[in-house]
Each structure stands twice: as C-alpha cells, then as structure tokens.
Amino acid sequence: MHDLTPLSGLFGGALIGLAAAALMVLTGRLAGVSGIFGGLLTSRPADRGWRLAFVAGLIAAPLVAWLSGAPLPRPAMASNLALVAAAGLLVGFGSRMGNGCTSGHGVCGFARLSARSIAATAIFMCAAVITVAVVRHGFGG
Amino acid sequence: MLLIIACFGCGLIFGAGLLVSGMTQPEKVLGFLDIFGAWDATLAFVMAGAVAVSAAGFALARRRGAPALAARYHWPTRSDIDTPLAAGAVLFGIGWGLVGICPGPALVNLAGLSVPIVVFVAAMALGMLGYELSRMRGASGTAASSVITSRADG
C-alpha cells in the first residue's frame, strides 16, 4: 500500500490549492479546515453559514464520487477505538491551540510564506514522524 | 446565498483533491511520516501541488482590493512564534501520527460513516471544545468574550 503516487498526488494537491485560492478570491476566507470546523462549534450564529457550507462540501465530495460508482470511503484504521479517540482529542485540542492544521498552516501558510505557519508545520511534522517511529519501530520506547 | 454556494463548491473541490491525492487514506499519510520504514513520498507531491496553486491564487487575491463575494479579506495577521503555537503543533502532530488522520480527511471520510472515523471526528470536536473551555477558564472576565471571535491562521 506504500506505493508512491506522484501524479495523482500533484493533481489532487493542485485541486486542494485551487479550492484554497478560490475560497480566498471569492469569499476572503482562508481554507484552514480546523479553523473553519472549530469556528462552527464556537462562533456566532451569523458566522456559521459559510463554515457549514464548506464542511458540507468536504463531506459531499465522496458522496458525489459514490453517485458515479466509487465506493464510500471507509479507511482502514487502527482497530483500537480508545487510541483513535485519543488521537482525535489531540488533533482537535492541538489544532486549536496551535491555530491551524495541515491545511491552514501546511498549505495556506506555506503559500503565504508565513514564518509562523512554516514553524508550526515543521514542529507538527517532526512530532508526527517521531510518533510513527515510536509506534511502528519502538524507537526510544 | 452566492457566498454559501461558493463555500460549498470550494469544500467540494478541496474534498475531491484530498480523495484524488490519496490523503484520505491513513496508510498513505502514515507511509509519508514513516521515514524509517517503506517511505511513501506522495504527501510531498500533494503539498507541492497545493502550495503552488494556492500561492498563485493568493497573489491574484492580493492584487484585487476585495474578494468577489465579501467585504474584505480575512488574512491571518499574526506572525509571532509563541508557546501555544509550538505546544499545539506538538499535540496535533502526535495525534496525527497515531492514526494518520487530520481534520480535512476526517471530515471527507465522515461520508462513509465507519465507526473509527465517527469516533475520531467526535473526539476531535470534543478536543476543540475542550481547548476553548480551557481558554475561557484561563481568561477570566473581559477576555472571555474574545472566545467567540474568529481565530487566526486557520
């Protein structure tokens, strides 16, 4: 399953970039998924419509693919649900505390050449690489 | 209404990009993060494509005075590298590395309603609310009202 797929990666990445660009040019908003989703939970009701629409678009993407015959995404994941829940808590808490995730800091922050976002991306990449190394190879364990 | 349709369309394209690129599959993401194993560099190509196109789009946006469907741009304004940024990134990175799912792919995968994804998204929402609560508790009185203002980088 670990086959390099550079062309679909580049093309899919370009679509992500197109969406981020269009969101800014059309609506003036930055395509940071943790910020958009997190704001849905905490922001004023008047600020929720556009956030809900973006999140609905994300969820609709595989449904559109499903209508044209693709299977719905049911990814193979760690079977330990306590681990999955812990990971979700960390991703949610950490992305709000750090003001962004792979989309807001990783994609949009790099595109803006923001030192703050590039630093955040370097830190969460390192933390993730170390986590995978410990979990899969037992380094430092 | 046009604004809502535009946001939905952008979410749809963003989600399609995550699906096409393979980034909704945790094993592709973990394959990139596993630099000591059978390394899969795909995520770097995804980032390259996404950053190149969004940078061009952002340059176009900056040349225009205002977005097409809204009054003004909401560019992030902060440039400091502070402790919450670093600590948050560490916690986020650990969670991301544990299962290979981050917020975008989590929401796209929600369409399949598999049990682990539903658990992940629920926990992610709880984690976000938990952070806001801890912030509210930390900032008493006047500062608490700032919780509802939209927050910076994304």
Give mean pLDDT in consecutive 10-residue pieces for chain B, a chain of 154 residues: 97 98 97 95 98 98 96 96 98 98 98 97 98 86 47 60
Q: What stretch of H or E contains A140?
A: none
Using an 8 Å CB-CB cutoff, list chain B residues near A136: 34, 36-37
> Which residues of chain A carry a pLDDT beneath 50?
1
A25 contacts B57? CB cut-off 8 A: yes
pLDDT number for residue A2: 56
d(CA A110, CA B126): 28
Cα distances (angstroms) measured from residue A139 to each of B26, B32, B51: 21, 17, 32
* DSSP assignment of chain B: -HHHHHHHHHHHHHHHHHHHHTTTSHHHHHHHH-TTSS--THHHHHHHHHHHHHHHHHHHHHHSSS-TTSSS----------HHHHHHHHHHHHHHHHHS--HHHHHHHGGG--HHHHHHHHHHHHHHHHHHHHHHHHS-GGGGGGGGSPPS--
Residue type, A39: G
C-alpha to C-alpha distance for B132 and B39, rounded to whole angstroms: 36
Q: Which chain A residues have a beta carbon less than 8 Å from that of B131? A: 92-93, 96-97
Angle in degrees, CA A102, B14, B107, rounded to 5 = 70
> Does B11 sit within 8 Å of A60, measured CB to CB?
yes
Q: What are A8's two structure tokens?
A: 């679909």
Answer whether A103 sits within 8 Å of B108, measured CB to CB. Answer: no
**pTM for this entry:** 0.93
CB contact under 8 A, B6 and A27: yes
Reported ipTM: the value is 0.96
pLDDT at B145: 47
What is the pLDDT, as a whole number, of residue A63?
98
Contact between B154 and A104 using a beta-carbon 8 Å cutoff: yes
pLDDT for residue A138: 87
Nearest-Cα residue of chain B relative to residue A55: B11
In this prediction, residue B34 carries a pLDDT of 97
Which residues 35-54 of A are in CB contact (within 8 Å) with B? 35-39, 41-44, 47, 49-51, 53-54
pLDDT at A44: 85
Number of H helices, E strands in chain A: 6, 0
Query: Whole-angstrom Cα distance, residue A133 to residue B11?
Result: 33
